[in-house]
Amino acid sequence: MNLQRTEPLLLFGAPVGMYTGKVRSYLRKNGIPYSERLPSDPIFQKQLLPRLKRFINPVIRMPDGTVVQDTADIIDFLEARGLARHPSTPATPRQRIVALILDLYGSDGLVRPAMHYRWGYRDQNEAFLRHEFGLSYRPGRAAPEVVEQQLGNFMNYLHSHLPNLGIDATTALVIEACYEELLTTLDAHLRAQPYALGGLPTIADYGLMAPLYAHLARDPVPATLMKSKAPSLYRWTERMNAPDHDAPEFPHTPYALPDDDAVPDTLRPLLRQIATDFVPEVEMTVRALDRWWRAHGHEGLVGQPAERGLVRDCFTLRGTPVTTVVAPYLIYKLQRVTDAWDALDDAGRASVAAFVDGTGLEPLLTLKPLRRIERREFLEVWGAATA
C-alpha cells in the first residue's frame, strides 16, 4: 500500500477558513488520512511560510515532505498520486464542464456574499468570530491582553477588505437579493439530489463547499438564514463533511453519477443564475487583465506576492455597479473550464453546446485573456499567449 495512503498528511488551515473547508471535505470523502494543524503551528510558521511567501491557506505537507498550496493544486496533486476513492472531475463532457463551472463559481463567484455576511454583520457575528479566529492565537504564550489586541487587529484587517470586494451599503442590497435567490435555487435542487450532479460528490460540490460552509453555514447570521430558508442546503453541508455517503434521505439514489452524461434538470436554474450574476464579473476580469497587459506587459509574477488583486474595475450586478479588485487567480480557475472545452472532440462540444444553450453560460467555454495565468513556486505568473 502506498505510504501516503497509510501515513496522514498534514493539513494547515482552520475551521473558520473558507478554502480549508473545501479541502477538508475532499479528504474526508476520499478517505485520505490527515491531521489538521492551525496556521499558528510552528511547522507552518517556521518551515512553510518562508517557502510559500504569503499567508494563504490551506496548505498540505505530505509525509515525504512535499508541500502543496491552493485547493485546485492540492486536489490535482492528490489525484495524480492515486489517493482518491473517486476522481473529483467527471470524465464525460457535460458533467465535466458543468462540474468545473460550479467549482469556479463556488470558489470564486461566492466570495462576495460570504465576506458580506461575515463582516457586514460583524456585531451579530462578533462573539463567534472572536472565538474562531482566537483558536489560532491560543497556542501562543503571550499575555491574554496582548492576544486580544493581536486578535482584534487581525479581525479589523480582514473586515477592512470589504471595499476591495465592492461591498458597501448600496451593493449589499443586491448581494443579499442574489444570495437569497441562490438559497432557494440550491435548496430545491438538493431536495431532489444528494449532491450537485447526482449521487456522487464531485469538484462541483467541493467548490461550492468553500463559501457555503465555513462562512455561510457556520457564522451566526448567515447560518440562521440558511437553516430557515434552505434546510436541504444546510443538510448538504453536513453530508459534505461526512466520510461516507450520508444520504439516508435518498435510499434509491446510487452512490454514482447519472448514466449517459446526464445532468439533473433541477440544476438548470442555478446555471442560469450563474450566467446572470457571475459571468459579467468574469468578462470584466478578462478585459481588465488584457488592458493591464497591453500597458505593462512583462514576464514573471502577476502583481505582488502578498496580494492577489492587480487593479480595480467595475461590473454590473443586476443593474448595480460593483467596483472591485481584479483577481488574476480567477483566470487560473477559468482556464480549467476552457481547457476542458478545448480538449473535447466535435461530438463532445456539440453535446455541451446543446446543454448550455439557453443558460447564458456560453462565454465561460471560450473566454480567454491575452495571456494564461499559471502558478510557479506557489505564486501566480504570466503564462503563454492564448492567441
pTM of the model: 0.95
Domain that holds residue 136: 121-159
Pick the last residue of a domain from 235, 250, 270. 270
| 51 is a domain residue | yes
Question: Region 268-278: what's the mean pLDDT?
Answer: 97
Same domain, 110 and 58: no
Average pLDDT over residues 207-212: 98
**Is position 86 within any domain?**
no
Q: Are residues 113 and 133 in the same domain?
A: no
Band (pLDDT 50/70/90 cuts) for residue 343 is very high
In a domain, 10, yes or no: yes
Same domain, 170 and 57: no
Residue 6 confidence (pLDDT) above 80? no
Are 252 and 330 in the same domain?
no
Within a domain: 87:
no
pLDDT tens across 120-142, in order?
Answer: 999 999 999 999 998 876 656 66
Q: What is the structure's pLDDT at 66? A: 96
Count of domains for the chain: 4
- If asked whether residues 260 and 113 sit together in one domain, one would say yes
What is the number of residues in the chain?
387
pLDDT at residue 141, rounded to an integer = 65
pLDDT for position 53? 80
Q: Are 89 and 202 in contact (CB under 8 A)?
A: yes
pLDDT at 4: 42
24-65, pLDDT tens digit by residue? Answer: 999 999 999 999 999 888 899 899 988 888 888 899 999 999
Are residues 51 and 177 both part of a single domain? Answer: no
Give the closest residue to 308 by CA, choosing from 378, 216, 207, 209.
Answer: 378
Are residues 101 and 249 located together in one domain of the fold? yes
317 shares a domain with 170: no
Q: Would 15 be classed as within a structural domain?
A: yes
The pLDDT > 70 percentage for the chain reads 96
